[in-house]
Structure formats: structure tokens, C-alpha cells
Chain A
């Protein structure tokens, strides 16, 4: 837990340092660089939520539905 918050502090400090300008975001804007799961990954996440105890913290759905089978 402490490590995660340590990381948060580092990220926060970095956010106030240098900003990458819009015209410098060619690499960051590559579709493969999206900070989100891919469209087709939603089905993987669904079955993982059903077959495993852990869920959440992936920007996806956080509840609802049974998942009992």
C-alpha cells in the first residue's frame, strides 16, 4: 500500500515538472498507447471477474450482474 502511494507522489511531482506539448504527442497519441483496455478485452475481463475473486481498478465496470455460472 505504501509503495503505491509512494508511486502516486512520484507521478504527482512529475506532473508539475515538464509538460509534453501537443505537437510532441505523436508517440503518445498512437492507438496502442491508450491507457485503457482494448475493446475486445472486455470479454476477457468479464470472464476473469467471474472466475477470480479480484475485480476493479482497471477503468472498467465495477459491479452489476450475477456471474454465477
Chain B
């Protein structure tokens, strides 16, 4: 603590000293000359074998198409209003298996409780016809910023809203930034709060249990449906008695972000980021199934696939859950990041980033990133990039069917497991400072494209391609 106090004292003294020397505010230039519009679009796909919806096993196939329009408007010489509107549409094999049973369906109610005459079947390895196979996320964020006459002090405030079928988020925050030392040094502080709310959807079998109680095998979805045990004999013993619907459905996140940027030489600058994040409420995902090692197994579907349940050969049987994941109602995270950007020469620059992360769920992570922009001409730049990431497992994580029913907290979500990942790709950007191409009164200033392949040590593979167009109002 004493050490940190000394550091803070040094920082304050440096900034005070630096501030005295600042004499750059000789004239007032507009912070933003004209309205700018960014149009962004992205396509993401992934596949893996550790679906959290199926208890840490099964298809993780997912595609996501996202698009945003960001409009930055100068309100006067000092103030900017930025509005960011986005929509994202996904299809997910994993999510579809909230209700894994084809030809039937009771998950979440909502009018899909009609029963089919054929025996229902499903598999963790393929998408079902469940309604939860796809969803859309819409979001809007508005940010207002004001710069002082000297341009050495900036404050901003923002509000945000996002919504998807089972989740709504409302956020607000604000920050200040101070530039010192002839704008060689910048110190900023930002605070944000997100007040989120779940509308929980539970796996079909648990939803029916919570709706009809201990007689649920004879009512609702399960009436007339045969449940099998591990030996493929019909059974009426399935009872997920540990399952209880969540009572608290809010998830609040609070963050305090500190950043310090410094021009070190004419060709080198660095930035340090330090965040403190606190989350409270329902931090579990209500449709992530758990299968306990000390509970018998029960299935719905085609019994010939029971012996190969854990392989992709299973195309017709689904195991009924014992519970959903249970995680603590608080989480405290501390990430610290640092960037170094170096101008080698007119053709070549090097952008680097490192982050250390730790939280009280037992996860420690390291992230290292390098990007090397290579200028081909005044208009074209290409930038190869590489990112390495590694994390330890959460103390609440265990693989498929290894948790015990006596535990208080449990998850089989492999996003909380121990793994490392490699991400590599290539970007390209086009700049036209004269904005010769036009759409109506907007001149095209910049096009940026990037593609990355992501490979995780637990076999998850993903690809993402993004594109951005920047227009200037003329």
C-alpha cells in the first residue's frame, strides 16, 4: 500500500509540474470539423465440441452477422454527440438445444408446447428445430463529450441500451480526461454501470419440472413421452430435484477505468489501462445444463445411440439434465493492460498490447497482441496481426458429468476452463484524404477490413471478418 501511495504521489507531482509548462492553447480549433458516419459489418462463425447448453459436450456451431452505424456530430466547436446503433443476428446449434427435441417442444412455453405424434428425439451434436436456435441483439449507445477551450480537459457522459429475447441491458457512465505536458501526457478516469436483466429460459426438462412439480413426467411435455435409463429401459425415476428457478434475475456490472498515456519519444508512445470491475446478481446462464457424476442418467430419443452418447455418432438421443449451472452472485475482476506503439519508419509501425487479468473465481489470464502495419502506398496499408491468450480454470469449472450434487457452485462452460488460444490474421485499409468517392453528401474517407482465425486449445475454432467504411459529411 505504501508503495502504491508513493507511485500516486510521483504521478501527481509529475502532472502538476507538466501542467505548468503547457502553453499550447493559442487558438481554438473545432474538435470535429464535420459529421462523420462509420458503417461497420462483421461475420463470425465458430465450431467446437464443448457446448455449455449440453453440459460441456456437443456442437458449439454458431454464426453471427453484426452491423453498426456510428454517427459523430459536432454540436459546436467544443461538443460532440456520438450515436451508435447496432443489430446482431445469430444462429446457434448450442442455443437451439435449450429445447433439443425435434418434432416436439416445450421449452419456455410460448406456444410451442404442441406435441407431435412421433417420439421426440434430439442430440447434443446437431442443432434442433427449437425456437432458441436464433435471436437478434439490438443496441444503441449515445455519448456526449465536451472539450475545454485549451483542449486539455475533456469530459463525457454516455447511456446505452441493448436487448435480446431473454436479456436486456441498460448502462450509463461518464469520464474525464486531462492532457498535460504539451499534450504529451494524458490521464483519464471513467466510471460505468450496467443494470442488466434476465428473462430466464430453462432447458425443456427443467422447465417442465418447475412448472408441474414431481408429477411432471405425466403432465405437459412429458405426458406420453418415454424416458429411458442408461440400460435403455423405460423409467419413471427421473427427478431433477436440485433444480430451482432463479429468484434473482438482475445482473449489475460496475466498472472504474483508469488510463495513462505518454509520448515517450518522437517515435514511441505508451498507454497503461487499469480497470476495477464488480459484478453482482445472476451471473450464471440459466440454460447451461449440469450432469452430476453421482446421479443416474436418463434419456429421451433413440436408445441405440446411448452407448455413443458422447461422440458425434449420436444423432438421436439426448440426456436429461440434473440442474443448470450455479455460480456465485458476485465477481470481482482486475485487468491491467499496456500498449506500446512504435514508428519504425514511414513504411513500418509496430503496435503491441499486453494484459494481465485476475478475478476472484480463480481465473488468471495473460493476453499478448502484436500488429505490424505495413504501408504499401499513401492510400493502402496492410497489417498482419497475431494474438496469444492463456487462462487458468475457474475453481467452479469441471468437465461434462464430473461435478457432484453436493457442491454449492458448478459449471461445465468451457469458456471458464483452462485453455490457450492463438489468433492470427490480416487487415487492410484504404484511405482517401480527398474523399473523391461520394454517397449523397458524404465522402468516403476510409475503408478498413480485417480477417482473423481463432484456434483454442480445447478444439474451438472460429473465424471473423469485419469491414468498416468511414464517411465525412461535405
* Chain B positions 237-254 with a Cβ under 8 Å from a chain A Cβ: 253-254
A62 touches B18 (CB 8 A): no
B40 touches A43 (CB 8 A): yes
Task: Give chain B residues whose Cβ lies under 8 Å from the Cβ of A7.
Answer: 272, 338
Question: Which listed residue (B38, B167, B184, B351) contacts A65, Cβ 8 A?
Answer: B167
Give the size category of A's interface with B. 35 or more
A66 touches B196 (CB 8 A): yes
A25 touches B335 (CB 8 A): no
B391 touches A53 (CB 8 A): yes
Question: Which listed residue (A21, A22, A32) contacts B349, Cβ 8 A?
Answer: A32
Q: In the complex, what's the smallest C-beta–C-beta distance from A10 to chain B, in angstroms?
A: 9
B466 touches A43 (CB 8 A): yes
Task: Give chain A residues whose Cβ lies under 8 Å from the Cβ of B94.
Answer: 69
Q: In the complex, what's the smallest C-beta–C-beta distance from B283 to chain A, in angstroms?
A: 11
**Docked CA distance A30–B267 (Å):** 10
Interface-located stretch among B6-14, B209-217, B226-234, B436-444: B6-14
B40 touches A39 (CB 8 A): yes
Give the size category of B's interface with A. 35 or more
Known: A12-B11, A39-B40. A56 touches B260 (CB 8 A): no
B274 within 8 A of A: yes
Question: Which listed residue (A2, A19, A33) contacts B181, Cβ 8 A?
Answer: A19
Chain A residue at minimal CB-CB distance from B166: A66
Known: A16-B18, A16-B181, A57-B337. A39 touches B38 (CB 8 A): yes
**Docked CA distance A55–B273 (Å):** 12
**Docked CA distance A53–B184 (Å):** 34
Known: A4-B338, A59-B259. A15 touches B343 (CB 8 A): no
Q: In the complex, what's the smallest C-beta–C-beta distance from A41 to chain B, in angstroms?
A: 7
B365 touches A40 (CB 8 A): no
Interface of B is mostly: strand
Interface-located stretch among B75-83, B106-114, B303-311, B356-364: B356-364
Contact with B along A13-48 (1 / 0, CB 8 A): 111100111101111101111110011111110111
Our count of residue pairs bridging A and B at CB distance below 8 angstroms stands at 239
Interface of A is mostly: loop
B337 touches A58 (CB 8 A): yes
Task: Give chain A residues whose Cβ lies under 8 Å from the Cβ of B459.
Answer: none
**Docked CA distance A33–B342 (Å):** 7
B266 touches A13 (CB 8 A): no
A51 touches B14 (CB 8 A): no
Contact with A along B346-371 (1 / 0, CB 8 A): 00010101011101010101010000
Question: Which listed residue (A9, A24, A41, A55) contacts B266, Cβ 8 A?
Answer: A24
B266 touches A25 (CB 8 A): yes
**Docked CA distance A42–B41 (Å):** 11
Question: Which listed residue (A26, A42, A59, A68) contacts B40, Cβ 8 A?
Answer: A42
A40 touches B355 (CB 8 A): no
Contact with A along B370-398 (1 / 0, CB 8 A): 00010100000101000001010010000
Q: In the complex, what's the smallest C-beta–C-beta distance from A50 to chain B, in angstroms?
A: 7
Question: Which listed residue (A20, A30, A41, A47) contacts B450, Cβ 8 A?
Answer: A41
B162 touches A62 (CB 8 A): no
B169 touches A65 (CB 8 A): yes
Pairs across A and B, CB under 8 Å, 10 listed: A12-B11, A16-B181, A19-B21, A32-B381, A32-B383, A40-B449, A41-B450, A47-B464, A57-B335, A68-B285
Chain A interface (Cβ within 8 Å of chain B)? 1-2, 4-5, 7-9, 11-16, 19-22, 24-28, 30-35, 38-44, 46-48, 50-59, 62-66, 68-69
